[in-house]
Every structure is written in structure tokens, then in C-alpha cells.
Amino acid sequence: MEVHRCRFVKYQPASINALSYTPRTAKPTLLACGRANGNIEIWNPQWEWNLDKTIPGGANMSVEALVFTHQTILTDEDDYDTEEEKVEARKNLLAAPPRLFSAGLNAYIMEWNLHTLQAQRSVDSHGGAIWCMAANHVNTVLAIGCEDGCVRLFDIADGELSFIRSFDKQKGRILSVAWSPDDKYIVTGSSDSSIRKWDVTQGRSIARMTVEKLRREDTLVWAVSVLASGTIVSGDSLGHVKFWDGKLGTMLQTFPAHGADVLCLVASRDGRTVFTSGVDRKLNQFHLVETSISSKKRKAPSNNSSAGVPAPTSTTKWILAHNRRFHSHDVRALALEEDRPVNALVSGGIDVSLVVCPAQEFPDTTQRRLSCLPQKPVVSVSKTKRLMLCRFTNVVKVWRLGKGRLRVLLVAEKFVISCLTLTQWRSSHYCQLISSNIDLLRFPASAPTQPYLDMDIGAHLDLVEPQQAVLEMTMKDDRNITASALSENGMWIAVAEVEETKLFKVEDDPNYPGRLIVRKQKQFASSIVTPSTRGFGAHYLLFTPDSSKLVIAMTNSQVLVVDLSGWQEQRYEILRRFGQHRGMGENDERNDDGDEQVSTIVSMTISADGQWLSTGDLLNRIHVFNLDALQVRIYLGLYVSDIVYGRHCKDEYHTTLPNFAPTHTTLTFHSYHPSTLIVSLASNEFYLYDVELCRLTDWSRKYSEKLPIKFLQFKDKIMGFGFNPARPNTIVAWGVSYLCLIDLAKGVGDRDAVLNVAKRKRVEEDKAEAHKKVERRRRYEKLGITTPMPEPPRSALGEEGEGVEDDGVNFQVLHKFQPLMFLDFVGPDSMVVVERPMFGILEKLPPSFYKAKYGT
Amino acid sequence: MSHERITCLASHPTEPCVATGDDRGRITLWYCFTAATVKKPVTSTLHWHAHQVNYMTFTADGVYLLSGGEEAVLVIWQLETGHRQYLPRLGSEIRSITVSPDQSLYALGHLDNSVRVFNALDLDIKQAIQGLKYAQTDHLTNPLSTGLVIEPRNHHVVLNGVPGTLQFYNAYTDRHVLELEVTPRNKASRTDDKEIVQPHVDLVAFWGRGEWMATVDSRDDGETTPELYLKFWRWDPDAQSYTLNTRVDAPHAVPITSLAFHPVPSGRNACPLAITTSKDKTFKIWHLVTQPGAGQNEYDVAWACRSIGVYRDYVPHHAAFSDDGSILAVAYGQIVTLWDPYTNTFQGVLVHPPEHRVVKRIEFLGGNSTFLVSVTRDHLYVWNLLTCTVWWSYQIKVDHLAADRQSSHFIVANNFPDSSDCRFLVFDPRTPIPVLIHSVPDKCRALAYLPRDDLPSFSTDRSGASSVLGHSNVIFLNQKWDLHVLGQAQTDEGSDRDETDARDKVSLASITPAPKTYFSDIFGTIRPKPSQEQLKAAAAAQQAAVAAAKDRAGKGEEEEKAFDLLSAPSHVMPSVATVFEAFMEGLLGKVGEVKEDAGRMEEDRDDEKDDEEAKEDQMDVDVVVPSANELSVPAPSLAAQDLSEQEVAIATKGGAFGFLGNQFLRQLTAGDKPNGHVVAKQAPSTPHYPKTNGVFANGKANGTLAHDSSDTDMEPEPGTGWNDKTPVSARTPKKAVVDEEARRVATPKKAVVDEARAVATPKSAGKKRKQ
């Protein structure tokens, strides 16, 4: 097996600046994660943290603060005549989806549309960069802290976003802001080493608390929070965490808990636990404890004034309970949702990964580092042209894959083959691989169902022709790229962002042989823009396998099929427009009442014969379209039984499917059974659906519900499927950290089996070893020698029959390649994997806070 | 929650909270006493210590927590703020901490057996109380290789302190005097689990009145090159300490086995010498040289290697100079070579009977005597250097040996292997009968004579008992690493006070009962007025056993002369051949049918024949447990005989092992022996020694010791005893015979004896033939 192991794709995720959970009243709970490049990721904690969607940012759009709001009270009760109306209105409020606001150093407050992933509304702060933002507890007013030292309030009630008032100006910028529990006061931390308490109605500062300065330099109060009890917590650039009396403004306790700036803090809802973190990467937990068991029993102090009165002193105090260190660089954001089932403390920072850790059990828990690689592949490949396209924030790069030659092959087994050329190697019944970092997976090609147990990394191959970067396009727009595609014939490149889709024609560069140049098809944009699609870009792009059509999943959830065959006349005809994901048919005028049914298209696939197109959205609606006939074929998914849609789709093409409770993650047509659609779910289950017969395939009906347990336990979701032309029956499911071979000609076998090939091999070896020992002993006994041989452990021997015939386990998991960004087959037994090792990402980061290690 | 071992615990005086310290150095505060936190305790961790927290305590107001551990740093935690205050460089691991009730003083107990008291306000040290440092160090990595050495200037006890140092200790006042850092080192605590290998002082020796001190220190961690240094230190009267004068890097390639100074009295202007022996098969003699280019200043001197000695590819184990400095003895395996230290000439060799046991230790005896004591694994030999013969020997496991510089006595410590008792035997080299036996319920770890001349409360008395310990006390370390001083108890009122005084001073570092009570028990009963005759008789019995050549105790003058001759230093004596006749004349006195030399040779041969027979008997004795009959053959004293019967009776009942008295019953100068020479063997089956002193006194001490006892029933009659022996001793006048006999008696197999003699002592053999 030839493996192009590509590590040259220098994908660099951006660091995390802000985190925010949806309010408690909104269901389901989501987490927004704002990054330095302006992207906002929406994570769903259900199904082991699935990345639902990414709102693309743009240049100068770094996210400093994120707030999810969900209004729960009626702003103007008088508008409603009857109680019933009020109740109805409240119900509507509660049912409304949460709103997401972001603010950044570009001085704008943005509200995002969570379906189209476009900015819905934006407001200038008029006070310069926004450093912090907080919504009051009823989610009707937004307070922001500005560069100019003003706190500004914005009305966000009832879908508004408008300026209310500005507080008195103070010296220095406002770095942190928090609302008191009764929403009457605002507490801010600023860069002039002070914490202020403001009266909301008057807009005046009513208390000022100062923190220590170091050598007359102002201390920055990076984080403040007001607990349910009214206690104010602050974190500053000296690394101190301070607790203040909320009424009097006196300091209660101070902890020099951090070695450097405290950048973020979160408090639990009951106000008994506080988490802080910052530049020194430490995550500290503070806890409120009782310092006397019963204050009544305690004798009053002997002085006369308090004699007889129960001891008035506070009987609680804060202690620094625990600390953990999850990150390798500064931690810039924390988010806490301690209620089950979420129960997660999430932290993120410069080191680009989100770390999730159970909050209630802290610190006796294991944290989980979520993959920072995109869950929707950013790579597309032209198999025939050996071209690979990858998109970055606003750059698209194309490489031509390298070729290798086998120099010395040291096979782990018994023989050494030296100096085999590629062709010789191919002819010697062994498959061979070439790549940039070329590894060889060795197994006999004659046995296509050879268990991967025998698969082995054989050798590295010399690159006779290294991979070559042949094209690099930098987009002129400020907006980040959302989708890109490379056509199979290598002629077209399509690139999309949220407002525009562009098509480029690829040509050979006459000046530099081997290099490519692109030519923008200017007519394309204008020809697909209609009044209803103006200003809408795309979330997903795909070329049909014959490169004659481009399918565009628009940000407004329309699906366009564009014919490219008339390119010479600059004529791009929209063949068909599907509005199913907007909750309607082809008639895109009927959009208003179906608005709540609009959902972001997150997956799309086209079958290898170009006949079928399938798209899926976040509501788990999966539609299958026949591209030959250009009509909807099937509608799968969650809302199949929905009456409205049942009526709407009640035609001869309609079929039903078991409802998928988990969100689907990918859609793929089987390359060699073009009518078989593979749907993978966030729970790591996958289903095979035959779109011709409108039912699940026999294999899927039999086994999809009982996949091996170990496979379902993988925390990384399935990111795609690969199909090896040399093994038509086998599909390769892959995720960030694994690839799994599944033979569809066989059953699932033992559900509890060990899937990891290497581990299975070890078990085999142990078994063989134990067997050998027994043999040797038997031989000795035959010779009359008794040796004190320890009885081989029962588990190593295993029950007879188990493991001897290997077909007991169908799923074969390799962890050899990880973390994976992409996997596909470019030819028979020729696989391309794109890896992005974590150290490659980390080495690009600035140095982290130095921590002296004892003894060095 | 944590899986570490909890090492200490303290509870908060005012809040519902306890603190635990663990072996990873963390202190955890547990708030688990409220209803909410009982099930799920809220904890807070304080972590500064890198190693195990040994001890911690809260101050009474609960504001501070004090903790200490291996880092030798007292950490004062201000609990409210998390602020830490340190009291670093305390020099030794902290073992315990206490705070005075008014919180004005902190007292720390340290691993080096000291207590330091600090002012809580400014953390200034107020007082330090230092005990014997060696008591609490790791005895495996820091063995007591120096033993107990008495510094000659002030008679301080010098021994290993904490690794790399020597401690000077005044045993009488129970005061730490001086810590000498032999190897300066950075007192860093380890950074990982592996212990740091510390340098170790192997040997120490003093010269003259303490003008010079020599030390050997080494460090071998198995990774880097082993370090070995020989250092010479000069007494600095200004600093009242020793300052380093010369450091010899790698004086030998491999570890040094012994170190000794040439004992020339410092009054003489002689150049001091020192010797080191090493496993690299050489010994080196070091001397003091004036450094080239230096002026006449006496401090411009340094030590240099003067000569290197090698003997036959053997490894030297121990070396010693005779008291007058004329002889250097180096022990190689089972032989002891004698050298002239001034001329580096090889003088002779003493071959131990072929026991195939390595000579572990050799010691010249003090008091200008001519004896050399050598110790093998299970034998003790006393050599007479005038005759170069084994004077007598014992089969005894000598654990520790010390020689008194002021008399010729030496003391042997013998730990019972199967009980925690130890037996001390004081010998006069002239006689195999120990002059004193004392047993203590402790193991002896090291032993030394401690001069008592400068301590008035231990003033010498003129009694017979004072001759046992002479002008010294015995100091030893027991298994609890306490120093004990054994001295002479007195019974009159004045001395009672002294005794209690002494006991107070003696029990160091712990409250072990002073072992001197045993002595007082023993000697207290002995005290009442021994009659003059008894004393005389006792002395006579001793002398008879040594010389074995006298018929009567009354022959004072000849005796005196003979011993005058013996007491002269061996190197100033004329050759043995010259003085032999006169000496023997004086010794034999009236017995005297002294023949001519030729005739004596013949007689020698006759004796040899007799010896053949005697040897057969001897072999029996060696192998078979002696019966009562055998043991009751004519013995040196009636008392011994009587006692032997008693003893055997007990032995058959008890069957236990290990009582001393029986050894002396087997004195082999029995009637069938032609010579008066004595070799005693330890009887294998003896009754278990009861720990009550009464039994000791009644059963053994009065019989075996040559003292008279209060038990008049057991009163020996020296006169008769000697009379019995008269014919025997009359027949053994000659040195050659003695030599011969010694070998015979000690070794049952004649062939081996001959062979050994032929190989090892060609000179003495040849001399004999010449005679």
C-alpha cells in the first residue's frame, strides 16, 4: 500500500480569545468559541463535543468578547392586554433561539445569524476598541467596556441592538465588566489599577477599589466577576486574585495565586467556587469554606461591645483549593457550565486547543483536548492530475504530489529487498507507496482481504520527485474563506466566502513549467447572482466527477447546480435551485413562514457516477437529488415524520428512514456502489442507504445498530470515508486519530473485540509466546525434564477459537497516522493522508510563560 | 485523593481543619467537618517542599503553619495570604518543630541530633544544643569507619559526624566541641529520588600531642571518578581548630585501609611520619618536608610521600607503629611484617598459625611493653616481639579492640551474636587471664580508652582495682549510638557522689541507664579490704601465667629484674641472642640447672618428642568438648579448678552458649604439658549467663578474675596452685621451646605447622638452629 503521508500542509489554527455558553434557559446548550482570526466556532457538548459550525471571520475581526443572550422577560408588559397573551409572548421568547454577540478591537458589536453564518447586525461602539462585554441577568442590556474609559450600554431587548447611554468617563481603558446579581450595579476593572462600581441608573461611579501597583506601574485588572452573594472577585496583572466585599468595597482576601497576569475567571452559579487562569497556564480553583462549624456555640469575644451578640464575624473564607495545568500557553478564556449533563469547564488560549474538563469533579478528573483541526475537510484532491488543494484562512494552495522510488527496503520480517524500482516493486506482488514523507504499508496485494494484522510500516521511500507547491492564491477580500473545491480534471478551482463565490480556471504557467496560474471567471459571479441570492456566499462547494457542473450550498441554504460546460462563451447557467433546506421546495419565493426551518448545510456529496447529489443540514435533514433528472429524490432524516413536510414531500420519491437522533457528520456516496449513501453520525454510528431502492442496505440493516463498542467509543468523530479501488468491498472510515478498515462483505463479528491492529498483534504475540512456552514445556516433559515453568495466564491463552480465525473481527483500526486532516485514495492501494502534527502547530506559537522546573 | 504516604498530621487550633503532609512534599489542608464537606472534603494544597514533609505544627493562634523536611529549611506559611517565609540553611534535616506557648520561640529538632531555638520575631538563633551527630545519620551510607579516636590534646572523642565531617566531642562534659568539615560541600538537597552520594571520612589519626591530624576521605558514586583524598591538618592555636595543611589527591589508586602516625613524642624534634596502607598492595610512608623556596617559617611545611613499601604482591590490611616508633608492623593477610620505619628495612615477619584467616587489625600495646596484639576473624593473638612468638591466643570473635596507651592493658569487646549483650575483657598481655570481665546488655559499636587524668572526679586510686583500667576510662558506643563511659566505681561516700556525677555526664543523648552500675555491683562487693596476702597472691598468679617460669611468688627481686628487661623498648634492646641467657637466668632463678647451648638444643629435640605426644592430647582437647576430668587436671589455681567443676555442672544442665569463665578453665598448662605456656580455647557449650549481677559475682568473677572476692568459700590458695605447677614450669625455660610450643598448641596438625614455619619464618628457624 502506497501512502502519501503529507505533512507539508501547514494548517495553523488561530488562538482562542473568548468562550461563551448559551444561557441556561436556551436549549440545547451550545458553546461559542471566538478565535483570533475572527472565526467563531459553535460547539455542541452533546455527543462528546461536536463542532457544529464555524462562523467565518475576516481580517481585523479578532473576537475579544462573546456573549450568548436569551431574553426571558418581557420588556413592556403593558403591550399585552391579557394574561394569556403575556404567557404566549413569554413562551415565544423562551422558544426563540439564543442570540450571539461578539465584540472586538475593531470597535464593532456584531450580532451573528446562526443559520447563514453571516453578520446580522453591527453597531459601532464610538468609544474605540471594545475590551469586554457582558449582558445583564435578564439579557436585555449589553454593557461594553471601551478603550476610551467609558462603559456603554446597548439595548438588546426584543431583537434590538441600539445604544442606550454612556457612563462617566474614567482614566484608562476598561478591561473587564460584570453585572451585579440584581442588575443595579456594574463592576468594571480597568487599566488604572482600580475596580469601580457603577450605578446603572445614574451612570456614576459609586465605589472605587484599588489593587497594588508594582513600581508605580499601573496594574491591569483583566477580569472581574460578581458572585451571587455580592462578593466581587478580581484578577489582575500581578497574578493576584482578590475577593472584595460588594457592599463596602473592602478587600476580604487576596491570593497571589498566579505567576503572571490573571486573564480570565469564572464563578459557579451558587458562588461557592471560582476558577481563574491566565498567562502562567495554571487553572486555579477557589472554594468557599466554613471556618466555624456553628457560630452559635462559639463564645462571643470578651470585649463589651459585642458581648451577648452572636459572633458577627464572617464564618466563611475562601481557600485556594486546587490547580491544574492543561495548556502549554497562556489561557485566555474560561467557560463554566456545571449543570449536568454538560458539566464542563472549558478553557482555551494561545495554544489553539479547547480543553474540556468535568467541572464538578475538578480536579480529580481527566481533561479532554478537543481537536483543533477543522472537522470538515479543507483538502480536495484531483486524483488523475495528482493535485491537492488546501484552503487556509484567506489563502488557497495547490500542490502536485511527489513520486518516490524504493531504495532499500528493510522489511521487518526476514528478507531484505534492495534497490527495487517502483515498477519492480509493483510487480513483486507487494504494493508500494510513495509520498512526501513516504511510508510503506506492506501487505500482499494478491489477497485483497488480507487482515491488516499483517500490515506493517515497511520502509521510507526516497522521493525522486518531491511534492511541489504549484499554486498559491491569496484572496483580496477581508473575509475568511468558507469553502473551496478542485475539479477532478484539474481545470477548475472554486472558492467561496460568506458573500461571494468565485470560480477560477486553472492553466499551466507558460513561464514556469509545472507551475499553475489561475484566471478568475468574472462572468460567473454575476451569472449566478439573482435578487434572492445577492450577498450570499457558500458553505460548501463541489464539482461533479466529470467536472461539468458545480454544486453550491449557499449560505441561505439554497443549493445551486451550475453548468460549467458553456465556459468558453462565459455562460454559466443555473440548472437547478433546490430550496429544501430552507424548508420549501424549488420555489424560493415562499421563504418567510418557513424561516425557522432554515438550517445551515453542513455536508454535501456527489456520487462517483455523477448521478446523485446529497446534502444535509444541522436539523439532520438529508436530501438526495438526482442530478441527471435534476430533481429531489429522497428526503431522509429527523423530520421525516413531520406532518408539514410529510405533506410537502408526499410524492413518489419519498421514503422513510430510521430517525437519526445524533447529528450526522458526513455524507458520502460509495465509490463502487454509486447508489449507496453512507451517513455517519455524531455517535460514530454509520448507515448505508441505497438511494435506488430507497432503503438501507442489507449490511446496514443487519449491523449498523450493533457496531463494535470500541468503535463507538471513539471520541473523535468520523470525518470521512475512503474507498480503495483495489478492495472494492472495503471502506475506510477515518477520524482525526484513527483510520478503520471495514469489510462490507463480512459481518461485524465480536462487538467487544479489540480493534487496534497493533494491540491485537501484541495480544497475538503474547498468545504465541504462551503457546510456545507450553510447547517447550511439553517437550521438556517428554524428555523427562521438569522445569518450573509458570503457568501462562489464562487471558493470554484465551479461549480456543477466539482470535485464531481473524474474521471474528471485521473492524481494523490503525492509529498510525494522526492527527489526520484528510484521507483519500488516488489510485489502487495508493492512499493520501494529510497529517498536521500538534508540535508543528505549537512551534509556530510565541514562547509561553517560563516556569522554573525544580532541579534544573 | 492523593496516593502519597501521609507523613505527618496537625490540626488547626481555631478552625475546623486538619493538615497532612505527605512524602511528595505537599501539605494538604482538609476542610471536612461541616455537613456539606463531610462527603466531599474541600482541600487546599500548600506545596513548597520538594521532599517529604517531616513535621509541621500550627502556631497557637492558627495564623501560621510551620513545616520542615529534608531540605533543612523551616517554612513558615501565613495561612491567610499564602505568604511564605523561610529559614534556610539550617544545616540538617528538620525532624520536629515546636512553638513555645507564647509564640516567641520556635524550637527545631534536627537529624544531626541537635536542637535549635529561634526567636519567632526576627528568626534569629537563640541557642543550639548539639548532641552526638553520628547518632542519627544514615549508618549504612555513613558507617562509623573512624571508630572512636581520642584526640590527644584535650582527650576529645573524635568520630564521624554527618557525612563529610568529623565531630569532636567532650565525653565528660557531654558537650559538642567542634565540627570539622573535612570535605567542604554544598548542602543541597537532592533533586530527584536518587540520593546524593556524600563524601565520607574514612580514617582519622592524630600525632603526638595533637599537633597534626591526618584524615582520609573518599567519595564514590559509581558514576564519576572515585575521589580519594589524604589530608593533613595542623592545629591552629588561634582558631582552636585544625586547619588544612596538605591535601594529597588520590594518594592511592584504590581505597586506603589504614592510617597511622609514627608515635614519636612531640617533644623530640623528630620529623613526624605517617603511614597509609591501601588495597593497591602498597603502603606509603609520608613525612613532613619544607616546601621548596619557602623560608624558615615552620608553617611552610607540607607532607610528601617518602617511601612506598610492597611485600610480595599482598594487600596490606592494617599498619601500626610500636609505641617508641622503632618498629612498623604491616599486616598482610595472615602474616605481619615488621619494618624499620627509619631505614625502610625489612625486619621480619610474624606468621600466624595457618588458620587462613586474614589479620584484620594489629595493635602495639602501650606502657613500653613488647607485645603486639593481632586480631583475625575469630582469634586474638598476643605476640611477644622479643621472641617473635605467639605469647598466647584465644579463639574469640573480637569485634572491637582498644589498647591503653598508658599501660600495657588492652580491652576487647565481644558482641554476643545471638543476644544483645556485649562482653568487655581487659587483658594484661602477659597473661591470658583477663584482668577484668564486664558484660553489658548492649551491643558495642566502637571502643576506646579515654584518659581520665585530667578529670579530678575520676582521680586514680591506689587500689588493686585501679590497675585494671589504669589511668583511663573505657568509652564505647552502644547500639543506640549513645556514648558510654565505663570507669572505676568507688564505694566510699565521696566517691558515691562522683559516681552519680559521672553517670549524669556519661549518659549522652539518651537516658540509658549507666552501665557502670554493673561495675559498682561487681566491685562494690569486692571492695572490702583485701588482705595483703591475697593481693600478692593474685598478682603472683598473673605473673606466673605470663612467665610461667617461677616456682614461688616470693621471688621478688629476680622477677623485678626480668621484667625490667622486658619493659625496655624492643628496639633499644640488644639482640635476643645476647640477652637471652641473662634474661633466662634471671627469670628462672633457682630452678636453674641451665645447660649449655648445645645441650639445650638436644633438650629441645627431646621436648619435641614430648610435644608429639602432647599434641595428640591437644588435638583431643581441640575437638572434643572437654569433660570434667580433663578440665580438672592440675590448673593454675585451685580456684579455677573448683570453679570448673561448678561450671561444667551448669553447662550440662543449661547447654547454652557463651559464658566467658569457661574459657579459662581450659588452660592447657596441664600437668602433661611440659611448658607453662597457655592457650585457652573458648568452650563451645557454656551456660547462659544470667543477667543478674549476683550470679555473675558469685559464680564467675571471683573465680576467674585474679582478684579476691567477698565469697570466702571460693577463696583460691595461690600457694598451693603454684606449688602444683612448679615442676611444669621448671621445664620450660627456653625461648625456642616456647616458640615451638606455641605453634604446636595452637595448631593441631604438625605438617602444616612445619610447612608454615618453613615458609614464613625462615629467620627464626635459622636462628634456632644456630643456637
CATH number at residue A831: 2.130.10.10
For residue A332, CA distances in Å to A65, A236, A256, B210, B231 come to 11, 13, 18, 71, 61
| pTM of the model as a whole | 0.70
Asked if A615 contacts A621 with a C-beta cutoff of 8 angstroms, the reply is no
Q: What interhelical angle do B556-567 and B532-547 show, nearest 10? A: 50
Contact B34 A289 (CB under 8 A): yes
- Positive or negative torsion for Cα B622, B625, B630, B635: positive
Question: Touching check for A251 and chain B: CB below 8 Å?
Answer: no
Could you tell me which chain B residue has the CA closest to the CA of A287? B42
> What pLDDT sits at residue A513?
81
Query: Across chain A, what does the average pLDDT equal?
Result: 79
Q: How large is the ipTM?
A: 0.75
Residues of A in contact with B36 (CB under 8 A): 290
For an interface test with A, which of B30, B32, B39, B44 has the most A Cβ atoms less than 10 Å from its Cβ? B44
Q: Residue B324: name the closest of B363, B362, B364, B275 by CA.
A: B364
Q: B158: pLDDT confidence band, cut at 50, 70 and 90?
A: very high
Q: Report d(CA A587, CA A590) in Å as an integer.
A: 6
Contact A289 B31 (CB under 8 A): yes
CB-closest option in B1, B31, B191 to A364: B1
Q: Report d(CA A608, CA A722) in Å as an integer.
A: 12
**What range does the domain containing A782 cover?**
760-803
Q: Residue A848: name the closest of A310, A332, A100 by CA.
A: A332
Is the pLDDT confidence value at A239 over 50? yes
> What pLDDT sits at residue A724?
85
Give the domain ranges of chain B: 6-130, 131-187+197-310, 399-492+504-515, 554-616, 618-714+727-770
Range B6-130 has CATH code 2.130.10.10: yes
Contact B83 A289 (CB under 8 A): no
Instruction: Please report whether residue A683 resides in a domain.
Output: yes
Q: Report d(CA A468, CA A399) in Å as an integer.
A: 5
CB-closest option in A320, A321, A854 to B50: A854
Answer yes or no: do A46 and A175 share one domain.
yes
Average pLDDT estimate for B576-589: 70
Instruction: Quote the Cα angle for A33-A39-A42, to 5°.
Output: 40
Contact A291 B16 (CB under 8 A): yes
Min Cα–Cα distance to chain B from A289, Å: 7
Residues of A in contact with B85 (CB under 8 A): none
CB-closest option in B33, B45, B50 to A322: B45
> What pLDDT sits at residue A208?
93
DSSP B357-393: ----EEEE-STT--EEEEE-SSEEEEEETTTTEEEEE
Could you tell me which chain A residue has the CA closest to the CA of B191? A855
- Burial, B323: exposed, middle or buried (Cβ in 10 Å; 0-12, 13-18, 19+)? buried
Q: A424: pLDDT confidence band, cut at 50, 70 and 90?
A: very low
Is the pLDDT confidence value at A38 over 80? yes
User: Radius of gyration of chain B from Cα atoms?
Assistant: 30
DSSP-derived pairing of the beta strands A830-835 and A2-6 = parallel
Q: Which residues contact A562 (CB under 8 A, 6 or more apart)?
A: A524, A528, A549, A550, A551, A552, A572, A573, A574, A575
Q: Report d(CA A169, CA B506) in Å as an integer.
A: 82
Average pLDDT estimate for B98-125: 92
Average pLDDT estimate for B460-482: 68
Could you tell me which chain B residue has the CA closest to the CA of A286? B44
Average pLDDT estimate for A356-372: 87
Q: Which residue in the block uniquely carries the three cell numbers 443549493?
A: A559
Asked if B354 contacts B295 with a C-beta cutoff of 8 angstroms, the reply is no
- Burial, A39: exposed, middle or buried (Cβ in 10 Å; 0-12, 13-18, 19+)? buried
Pairwise pLDDT comparison (A814 vs A154), residue with the higher score = A154
Question: Touching check for A12 and chain B: CB below 8 Å?
Answer: no
Min Cα–Cα distance to chain B from A363, Å: 10
DSSP-assigned beta bridge partners for residue A603: A616
Question: Touching check for A805 and chain B: CB below 8 Å?
Answer: no
Using DSSP, state whether B115 is helix, strand or coil.
strand
Using DSSP, state whether B559 is helix, strand or coil.
helix
Pairwise pLDDT comparison (A231 vs B712), residue with the higher score = A231
Contact A289 B81 (CB under 8 A): no
> What pLDDT sits at residue A460?
53
> What pLDDT sits at residue B224?
87
Written as one letter, the residue type at A647 is R
Could you tell me which chain A residue has the CA closest to the CA of B79? A319
> What pLDDT sits at residue B527?
40
Instruction: Please report whether residue A104 resides in a domain.
Output: yes
Answer yes or no: do A778 and A668 share one domain.
no
> What pLDDT sits at residue A495?
92
Q: B561: pLDDT confidence band, cut at 50, 70 and 90?
A: low
Cross-sheet strand order for the sheet of B42-47 = B6-11, B18-22, B26-31, B42-47
- Burial, A418: exposed, middle or buried (Cβ in 10 Å; 0-12, 13-18, 19+)? exposed
DSSP-derived pairing of the beta strands A16-21 and A31-35 = antiparallel
Answer yes or no: do A839 and A787 share one domain.
no
Is the pLDDT confidence value at A453 over 70? no
Q: Residue A445: name the closest of A458, A428, A470 by CA.
A: A428
Q: A265: number of CA atoms within 13 Å, CB side?
A: 35
Q: Report d(CA B376, CA B361) in Å as an integer.
A: 7
Percent of chain B residues past pLDDT 70, beyond the cut: 59
Average pLDDT estimate for A790-799: 43
Written as one letter, the residue type at A253 is Q
Answer yes or no: do A100 and A31 share one domain.
yes
> What pLDDT sits at residue A316?
85
Could you tell me which chain B residue has the CA closest to the CA of A362? B42
Least confident of A83-87, A577-581, B688-692: B688-692
Question: Touching check for B16 and chain A: CB below 8 Å?
Answer: yes
Q: Report d(CA B758, CA B291) in Å as an integer.
A: 47
* Main-chain phi, psi angles of B329, to 5 degrees: -110, 130
Of A342, A369, A396, the one marking the end of a domain is A369
Cα dihedral: A305, A306, A309, A315 (round 10): 160
Q: Report d(CA A293, CA A276) in Å as an integer.
A: 28
DSSP state of A7: -
Average pLDDT estimate for B636-650: 35
Q: Which residue in the block uniquely carries the three cell numbers 619464618?
A: B761
The answer to whether the bond into A341 is cis (omega within 30° of 0) is yes
> What pLDDT sits at residue A157?
87
Q: What is the pLDDT of residues B366-421, one digit of tens each?
A: 877 889 999 988 889 999 888 888 889 888 888 899 988 878 889 999 888 888 88
Q: Report d(CA B536, CA B723) in Å as an integer.
A: 15
Instruction: Please report whether residue A618 resides in a domain.
Output: no
Question: Touching check for A253 and chain B: CB below 8 Å?
Answer: yes
- Burial, B393: exposed, middle or buried (Cβ in 10 Å; 0-12, 13-18, 19+)? buried
Q: What interhelical angle do B576-588 and B556-567 show, nearest 10? A: 160
Residues of A in contact with B31 (CB under 8 A): 289-290, 319
Is the pLDDT confidence value at A330 over 50? yes
Q: Residue B544: name the closest of B557, B532, B553 by CA.
A: B553
Average pLDDT estimate for A231-259: 92
* Main-chain phi, psi angles of A637, to 5 degrees: 115, -165
Instruction: Quote the Cα angle for A603-A609-A610, to 5°.
Output: 55
Q: Report d(CA A352, CA A331) in Å as an integer.
A: 10
Q: Report d(CA A6, CA A438) in Å as an integer.
A: 8
* Chain A (472-491) residues lying within 8 Å, Cβ to Cβ, of chain B: none
Could you tell me which chain B residue has the CA closest to the CA of A365? B1
Is the pLDDT confidence value at B744 over 70? no
Average pLDDT estimate for B78-90: 87
Number of structural domains, chain A?
3
Q: Residue A330: name the closest of A193, A222, A218, A210 by CA.
A: A222
Asked if A223 contacts A265 with a C-beta cutoff of 8 angstroms, the reply is yes
Q: B634: pLDDT confidence band, cut at 50, 70 and 90?
A: very low
Query: Across chain B, what does the average pLDDT equal?
Result: 69
Question: Touching check for B48 and chain A: CB below 8 Å?
Answer: no
Residues of A in contact with B45 (CB under 8 A): 321-323
Asked if A615 contacts A664 with a C-beta cutoff of 8 angstroms, the reply is no
Is the pLDDT confidence value at B190 over 80? no
Q: B201: pLDDT confidence band, cut at 50, 70 and 90?
A: very high
DSSP state of B699: I
* Main-chain phi, psi angles of B592, to 5 degrees: -20, 35
Instruction: Please report whether residue A520 resides in a domain.
Output: no
Contact A289 B37 (CB under 8 A): yes
Q: B731: number of CA atoms within 13 Å, CB side?
A: 18
Q: Residue B643: name the closest of B688, B683, B708, B701 by CA.
A: B701
Question: Touching check for B33 and chain A: CB below 8 Å?
Answer: yes
Answer yes or no: do A271 and A330 share one domain.
yes
Pairwise pLDDT comparison (B766 vs B182), residue with the higher score = B182
* Chain B (71-130) residues lying within 8 Å, Cβ to Cβ, of chain A: 80-83
Instruction: Please report whether residue A416 resides in a domain.
Output: no
CB-closest option in B1, B42, B80 to A289: B42
Min Cα–Cα distance to chain A from B191, Å: 5
Most confident of A268-282, B366-380, B555-569: A268-282
Average pLDDT estimate for B683-691: 37
Answer yes or no: do A687 and A783 share one domain.
no
Q: Report d(CA B544, CA A21) in Å as an integer.
A: 107
Answer yes or no: do A779 and A689 share one domain.
no
Average pLDDT estimate for A433-448: 41
Q: Which residues contact A81 (CB under 8 A, 6 or more apart)?
A: none
Residues of A in contact with B42 (CB under 8 A): 287, 289, 319, 321
Is the pLDDT confidence value at B525 over 50? no
Answer yes or no: do A783 and A662 share one domain.
no
Question: Touching check for A321 and chain B: CB below 8 Å?
Answer: yes
Q: Report d(CA B610, CA B78) in Å as an integer.
A: 90
Question: Touching check for A301 and chain B: CB below 8 Å?
Answer: no
Q: B572: pLDDT confidence band, cut at 50, 70 and 90?
A: low
Question: Touching check for A773 and chain B: CB below 8 Å?
Answer: no
Answer yes or no: do A766 and A829 share one domain.
no
DSSP-assigned beta bridge partners for residue B150: B157
Q: A322: pLDDT confidence band, cut at 50, 70 and 90?
A: confident
Using DSSP, state whether A750 is helix, strand or coil.
coil
Answer yes or no: do A55 and A145 share one domain.
yes
- Burial, A697: exposed, middle or buried (Cβ in 10 Å; 0-12, 13-18, 19+)? buried
Min Cα–Cα distance to chain B from A220, Å: 21
Q: A784: pLDDT confidence band, cut at 50, 70 and 90?
A: low
Using DSSP, state whether B712 is helix, strand or coil.
helix
Is the pLDDT confidence value at A241 over 90? yes
